[in-house]
Amino acid sequence: MVTPPDREIRELAALKALAHPRRQLVMRELQARGPATSASLARALDLNTGATSYHLRELARHGFVEDFVDPSAHGRERWWRAVRRDLRFPPRSEQSDRMRAVVDEVNRLAFAADLEAFDRAQTQYAQDENWVDALPHSRGSIHVTPAELAEFFEEYIGLLNRYKRTGPLPPDARTVLTRFVAFPAPDAVPGDGDGDGDGDANGESNGDGDGVGGEGALFDDGG
């Protein structure tokens, strides 16, 4: 099992760095595809190298990515990778109004990108005999206290960390994006319910092994 170290992001400047749409693209690309140069990122994201270099430096300044020496690199190539962390936001009750607004923007951008990626994945793997039936998702409800939900979340993170791998991967392995969202039903009356969990599963389950603690998952840790 691979358990990345926690990092709670309390610096407003660091949160603002993550709230930039192109920096989220850079983070996602590094986490999904692995280390890259600013030039290869520019090609993958349809940006210019000046833009990717700038965003990489900003992310590095706040500890989200790092450059490293690749023995196989050609010439003066500078390689970058995502720093492996379980990224967490402070509990919402401890966030200032300014911090809460930035966190909300980070999440808005991230979930919009998730939906777009899910749509592309369904199309891409529709004709793949190995993966066409392996795109799980589920919707359901449970009846828990705030403390129980926090425990549920940590157990979920632990489960995901069990499946994080280092070293060679099986030939049919793919990077699988997982997302977790849980929230009280809007306008729900406390105690209103029959006490039974209900769900709508399709062999499927939404889930991310890296938390934005007290605030859900944000980015993969690059592992």
Q: What is the pLDDT of residues 53-108, one digit of tens each?
A: 999 999 999 999 999 877 676 667 899 999 988 888 999 999 999 999 999 999 99
Length of the chain: 223
Residue 1 — pLDDT band, cuts 50, 70, 90? low
The dihedral sign for the CA sequence 61, 66, 70, 73: negative
The answer to the question of residue 124 being in a domain is yes
8 and 90 in contact (C-beta within 8 Å)? yes
Separation between Cα atoms, residue 16 and residue 4, nearest integer Å: 23
Residue 113 falls within a domain, yes or no? yes
Print the domain residue range for 162: 6-186+195-201
Please say if the pLDDT value at position 214 is more than 70. Answer: no
> Could you give the 3-state DSSP secondary structure of residue 34?
coil
CATH number reported for the structural domain that contains residue 92 in this entry: 1.10.10.10
Distant-in-sequence, close-in-space partners of 79: CB < 8 Å, separation ≥ 6 = 35, 36, 37, 67, 68, 69, 70, 73
The reply to whether 114 falls in a domain is: yes
Tokens found for residue 36 = 């890259």
For the chain, how many structural domains are there in total? 1
Give residue-wise pLDDT tens across range 113-143.
999 989 989 898 888 888 888 888 888 999 9
- In a domain, residue 27? The reply is yes
Please name the helix (run of DSSP H) or strand (run of DSSP E) that holds residue 103, with its range, or none.
Answer: helix 97-124
Dump strand ranges (E) for the chain: 6-8, 36-37, 65-68, 79-82, 86-88, 138-141, 198-201
Structure tokens given for 191: 């105690």
Q: Is 117 left (phi over 0), alpha (psi -120 to 50) or beta?
A: alpha
209 in a structural domain: no
- Extract the runs of DSSP E, i.e. beta strands, from 62-185: 65-68, 79-82, 86-88, 138-141
* 157-166: average pLDDT: 86
Say if 215 falls within a structural domain: no
Is 79 within a domain? yes
In a domain, 167, yes or no: yes
**Predicted structure pTM score:** 0.70
